[in-house]
Amino acid sequence: MPDDALDDARMLDLDVEQESPFLRGQKRVSVRRGSLPRKAATGLTWGLLALVVVFVCSAGVAALYHYGEHSWRFRIESSDNIEITGLQNVTRYQIMEVMGGDIGRNIFFVPLSARKQTLEKIPWVESASVMRFVPNRVRIEIHERTAVAFARVGSRILLIDSVGTLMELPAAGKKKYSFPVILGMNLNEPASTRAARMKIYNDLANQLDAGGAHYAQDLSEVDLSDAEDVKVLPSDAQGEVLVHLGSSNYLERYKVYVSHVREWRQQFDKLESVDLRYDRQIIVNPDLLGTVKQAPLSIASAKAAMAAGVKPAALITHQPTAPKSAPALTSVAKPPLKATSAKKAARKAHRRIAAKVTSTQIKSMAKSASPMAQSPSTTPPAPSTTGKTAPTTPPPTGAAVVKPSNKPSPAIVKGEDHP
């Protein structure tokens, strides 16, 4: 056998031996497994980490809280740590009455909301804001109310804003106003009632100042007691006149007064009031039947009112009354401005007594009188103090009597006599 054949046979045998007629399985490598799945282990790790972070943060917050609660750095030491802005008519003393209890207290324990509500109960304060600033400072911002008029309440004169809130006058000489005095306000009435009256006043002032007229600043008093009959008292060097303006058309009616007041003064010896409520009728002196007394102002209140700018005419302690009944309307298209009814003036002439005789004067005059004058049949009656009737005989010496004018005083309707 040739050598080449042997080599080929060996090679074939080797190839056969390398190829196995059976498939053998691969050798497996053993893996060590834990008690928890991988995802569960990962979640548990993150949870434990979060708990640690929360614990650390809580401990830090607790430490800071304990420090802030007990540290002297956060304590309001004195009133110098309370900053107040916006004060004009409100005094610092009024603010400290509210905030004084917080001096020495930790700044984090000051109830800001409660202090704000208490501050807004001060009449002059419209709104307030209270803020804390670390470490130990409190800031208070005050927004004050805006006064629009004076208000006579009992024996005092106060200031009032557009919604009817009554406020004390500022310190003497601190500020002066040029407001009229409003009558008809009461401390015991609901705030809504005063707000309704102030709505009428605001309408009146807006109408009188419309078109640049500025009539509102000439008023001394505004009587809002009757919503259907607003009465104003203009300032006039020749004498104040009470003007009835009704409940509408204030500017138009007031212009009638301004245009004819000089003419009325010439027609009547004494011009005290004018009723302009009726479209076809003007009534002069409808309030001569009596007066309604007001509580006199105290000396201190009068001085404070004058220092604040109240006009002297508004310091009088009485006001005329409204007429008992409204006259009937006539068919006259334009209200006449001249009195023509002398017959009515003769029937209803009003005599008024300008001075009262005291009991001491009557006794002294009775002692010096003659026996004839002291007899019961000839003793003159005491003068009337109501102003409704005139004495039939001359009054005692010392009593001044205003004689009735020959000119008519009440209704002045042309060509028509009213009973």
Terminal C-alpha separation, the chain: 176
Mean pLDDT (the chain, rounded):
73
Residue 23 confidence (pLDDT): 58
Euclidean distance between CA atoms 417 and 419, whole angstroms: 7
pLDDT reported for residue 71: 82
pLDDT, tens digit (0-9, with 9 covering 90-100), for 122-153:
999 999 999 999 889 999 999 999 999 999 99
3 state SS of 365: helix
Ramachandran region of residue 119, left (φ > 0), alpha (ψ -120 to 50) or beta? alpha
Calculate mean pLDDT across residues 356-383.
37
> From CA 336, how far away is CA 176, in angstroms rounded?
41
pLDDT at 5: 58
Q: Mean pLDDT over residues 180-192, rounded?
A: 91
| Cα–Cα distance measured from residue 359 to residue 400, given in angstroms and rounded to the nearest whole number | 16
For the chain, give the percent of residues with pLDDT over 70.
64
Q: Which pTM was predicted?
A: 0.62
Q: CB atoms < 10 A from the CB of 106, how many?
A: 17
At 382 the pLDDT is 39
Per-residue pLDDT band for 30 (boundaries 50, 70, 90) equals low
Whole-number percent of the chain with pLDDT over 90: 39
Tell me the pLDDT tens digit for each residue of 259-279.
999 999 998 888 999 999 988
Residue 38's pLDDT band, with cuts at 50, 70 and 90, is confident
Tokens 């569960």 label which residue?
40
Over residues 45-71, the mean pLDDT reads 84
pLDDT digits (tens, 9 = 90+) for 388-413: 333 333 333 332 233 333 343 344 43
Write the pLDDT tens digit of every residue in 288-329. Answer: 644 455 667 778 777 888 788 887 777 765 444 444 444 433
| Degrees, nearest 5: CA angle 354-359-364 | 105
CA distances (Å), origin 54, targets 41, 59, 175: 20, 8, 61
- CA–CA gap between residue 87 and residue 175 (Å, rounded): 13
- Name which residue leads in pLDDT, 322 or 176: 176
CA distance 106 to 317: 54
Q: Say how many CA atoms lie within 13 Å of 202 toward its Cβ.
A: 13
Whether residue 152 contacts residue 126, with contact meaning beta carbons closer than 8 Å, is answered with: no
Task: Considering only residues 16 and 64, tell me which one the structure prediction assigns the higher pLDDT.
Answer: 64
